[in-house]
Amino acid sequence: MPILAVLTLAVMVVALIDAITRRDDQVKHLPKFAWVFFIVLLPLIGSILWFAIGREWEQRREPLTFGDPRQWQRDAEPAPAAPSARTTEQQIADLEREMYLADLEEQVRRRRAEGDASN
């Protein structure tokens, strides 16, 4: 068999296994069954597109072994929100709050300085 055919078959099998075992919320742009159909219909192109744009690439904090019970717990735990997941309005509100607190601190410093100068 030509090497390209074996390589295409191997990539297709890996892509199919990965696509089938992914949860629905980890599949992007198309439903899972459409990705599976696309991978089977056009093995090389479908597999490459699956790995490039079809699946959600998550970053693991630390590697998990096969028998590690934490691999079952991570789905039950809510994922911590990324700092960049905040909306622009939330970021603006945080900045306004920081500016307000800085103004209050400055007023307190001035009043303390005025109180020390009068004594």
Supply φ then ψ for residue 58, to 5 degrees: -100, 145
- Exposed e or buried b for every residue in 4-15, given b needs 16+ CB within 10 A? eeeeeeebbeeb
Q: Which of 50, 57, 66 has the alpha carbon at shortest distance from 16?
A: 50
Q: Print the domain residue range for 89.
A: 84-119
Mean pLDDT by runs of 10 across the 119 residues of the chain is 86 90 84 89 89 76 59 58 74 93 94 82
Shared domain for 53 and 88, answered yes or no, is: no
Last residue of a domain, one of 57, 76, 93: 57
Shared domain for 46 and 90, answered yes or no, is: no
**70 occurs within a structural domain:** no
Half-sphere exposure of 79 (CA within 13 A, CB side): 9
Shared domain for 53 and 10, answered yes or no, is: yes
Q: Residue 12's pLDDT is what?
A: 92
Q: Residue 53's pLDDT is what?
A: 86
Q: Residue 81's pLDDT is what?
A: 59
Shared domain for 53 and 90, answered yes or no, is: no
Q: Residue 104's pLDDT is what?
A: 94
* 43, two tokens: 């093995």
CA dihedral 37, 42, 45, 48 (to 10 degrees): 40
Total domains, the chain = 2
Q: Which of 71, 4, 85 has the alpha carbon at shortest distance from 43?
A: 4
**What letter does residue 86 receive in the DSSP assignment?**
S
**25 occurs within a structural domain:** yes
**73 occurs within a structural domain:** no
